[in-house]
């Protein structure tokens, strides 16, 4: 008997029930026999709204802020936003991210500023899609998409490389390495001061919606 079974008082004395409550013999919840009650449940279900989803033939629509597969974003000229700082890897509670930074040179520039992410991996066997990594990223390089179809029967294939995570090149973007097109230093990429930044249109780059499309972070 549960400790929460209420006690009752009889003739001034507290009486606690110590066994199962008595069930009246032969009493049923329905006058129908048991098999008829069972078929009744089946029959009633036939007229309920069907909730079966026809996935994968009909793709599942996620909520806009769903945390799915990651993406490494680009600047409007195609340079990578990742600066190889490893903050995402340090923030990850599952130790799912591996980053090795590399030095940019004037001959081979992959991002504005000094460094870029030379090696970048996310282990989706470990990732719990908590989103702490994208919160830690100072350049909004790392964001998350709505893509959830990550299942695979090959463990190695679930360790995504930088090439798999990089956002595609949109019109107006150029495959790195290449010189900075949006200004003379990295501030022109991050400080959106209209007086200080070089006008993008003057450089002939397609800016319209480019970042918005690449940045799928919500
Ligand atoms: S979503 Fe969470 S678990 Fe996955 S890589 Fe980012 S911080 Fe790590
Ligand atoms: S994705 Fe962001 S936090 Fe991670 S290394 Fe690149 S710049 Fe740093």
Where is pLDDT greater, at 95 or 199? 95
Atom 2, ligand 2: residue with shortest CA distance: 137
Position 192 confidence tier, pLDDT thresholds 50, 70, 90: low
Position 20 confidence tier, pLDDT thresholds 50, 70, 90: low
Q: Dihedrals φ, ψ of 35, to 5°? A: -60, -35
| 157 CA → ligand 1 middle, Å | 17
Residue 16 has a pLDDT of: 72
| Structure-block tokens of residue 67 | 């945390």
To test the pocket of ligand 1, the residue of 82, 87, 89, 97 to mutate (highest count of ligand atoms within 8 Å of its CB) is: 97
Residue 99 has a pLDDT of: 98
Residue 25 has a pLDDT of: 62
| 62 CA → ligand 1 middle, Å | 19
Tell me what the pLDDT averaged over the chain comes to. 84
Atom 6, ligand 2: residue with shortest CA distance: 82
Instruction: Report whether 198 contacts 188 (CB < 8 A).
Output: yes
Question: From the alpha carbon of 83, which atom of ligand 2 is closest?
Answer: 7
Angstrom distances, CA of residue 79 to CA of 35, 72, 126, 148, 217:
70, 11, 29, 27, 18
Q: Encode pLDDT of 42-60 as tens digits.
A: 999 999 998 888 999 998 8
| 194 CA → ligand 1 middle, Å | 35
Looking at domain 70-214, its CATH class is: alpha beta
């Amino acid at each position: 008997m549960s400790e929460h079974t209420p006690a009752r008082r009889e003739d001034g004395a507290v009486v606690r029930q110590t066994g199962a409550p008595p069930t009246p013999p032969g009493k049923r919840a329905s006058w129908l026999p048991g098999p008829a009650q069972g078929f009744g449940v089946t029959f009633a279900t036939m007229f309920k709204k069907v909730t079966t989803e026809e996935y994968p033939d009909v793709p599942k629509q996620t909520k806009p802020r769903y945390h799915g597969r990651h993406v490494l974003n680009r600047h409007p000229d195609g340079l990578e936003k990742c600066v190889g700082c490893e903050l995402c890897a340090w923030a990850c509670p599952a130790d799912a991210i591996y980053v090795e930074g590399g030095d940019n040179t004037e001959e081979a520039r992959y991002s504005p500023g000094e460094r870029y992410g030379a090696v970048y991996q996310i282990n989706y066997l470990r990732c719990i899609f908590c989103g702490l990594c994208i919160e830690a990223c100072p350049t909004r390089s790392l964001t998350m998409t709505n893509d959830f179809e990550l299942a695979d029967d090959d463990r190695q294939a679930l360790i995504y490389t930088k090439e798999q995570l990089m956002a595609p090149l949109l019109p107006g973007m150029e495959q790195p390495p290449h010189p900075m097109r949006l200004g003379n230093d990295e501030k022109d990429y991050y400080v959106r001061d209209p007086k200080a930044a070089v006008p993008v249109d003057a450089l002939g780059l397609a800016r319209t919606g480019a970042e918005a499309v690449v940045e799928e972070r919500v």
